[in-house]
Amino acid sequence: MENSYISKRIASFGYAWNGIVAFVRSEPHARIHVLATIVVVAAACWYRITAPEWIWTILSIALVWTTEMLNTVVEKMMDHLSPQLHPQVKFIKDVAAGAVLVAAIAAAIIGAVIFIPHIF
């Protein structure tokens, strides 16, 4: 029984990884996030940001990725549940997209606070 429990936990990581890969392959915004993540991590390495700056950078990246992934889930669910146009579906999808925008703005501000002093 122990092996079954452990193998199920290991399999759950595989399912999660498959979800990330599917997200990146199917969503154009995900590929933009991959590029932005690579640029930000490269800049962080180049400027040798401090440990606290790394923490804020990683949290910002994770926040944007997480909100974008959840937004994608909301959009796909709503498209499946209500393929026809409906004002409530539009509202739900707009609010989910707004959450991504809030996260992206916060990440940009955090990035500016961290990187501007290193650049100038």
Q: Where are the domains of the chain?
A: 5-118
1: pLDDT confidence band, cut at 50, 70 and 90? Answer: low
Q: Which residues make Cβ contacts (< 8 Å) with residue 97, sequence separation at least 6?
A: 71
Does 27 show up as a binding residue in the annotation? yes
Active site residue 2: no
Does 90 show up as a binding residue in the annotation? no
Does 53 show up as a binding residue in the annotation? no
Q: What pLDDT score was predicted for residue 119? A: 94
Does 94 show up as a binding residue in the annotation? yes
Q: What whole-number distance in Å separates Cα of residue 60 and Cα of residue 110?
A: 7
Q: What whole-number distance in Å separates Cα of residue 34 and Cα of residue 25?
A: 11
- Note the pLDDT tens digit of each residue in 31-55: 999 999 999 999 999 999 999 999 9
What are the backbone dihedrals phi and psi of residue 85, each rounded to the nearest 5 degrees, phi first? -70, 135
Of 68, 72, 103, 111, catalytic: 68
The 3-state DSSP class for residue 82 equals coil
pTM of the predicted structure, to 2 decimals: 0.89
pLDDT greater at residue 107 or residue 83: 107
Per CATH, the number for 5-118 is 1.10.287.3610
Does 15 show up as a binding residue in the annotation? yes
What are the backbone dihedrals phi and psi of residue 41, each rounded to the nearest 5 degrees, phi first? -65, -40
Q: What pLDDT score was predicted for residue 3? A: 72
- Note the pLDDT tens digit of each residue in 54-102: 999 999 999 999 999 999 999 999 999 999 989 999 999 999 999 999 9
4: pLDDT confidence band, cut at 50, 70 and 90? Answer: confident
Q: What pLDDT score was predicted for residue 118? A: 95
- Note the pLDDT tens digit of each residue in 20-35: 999 999 999 999 999 9
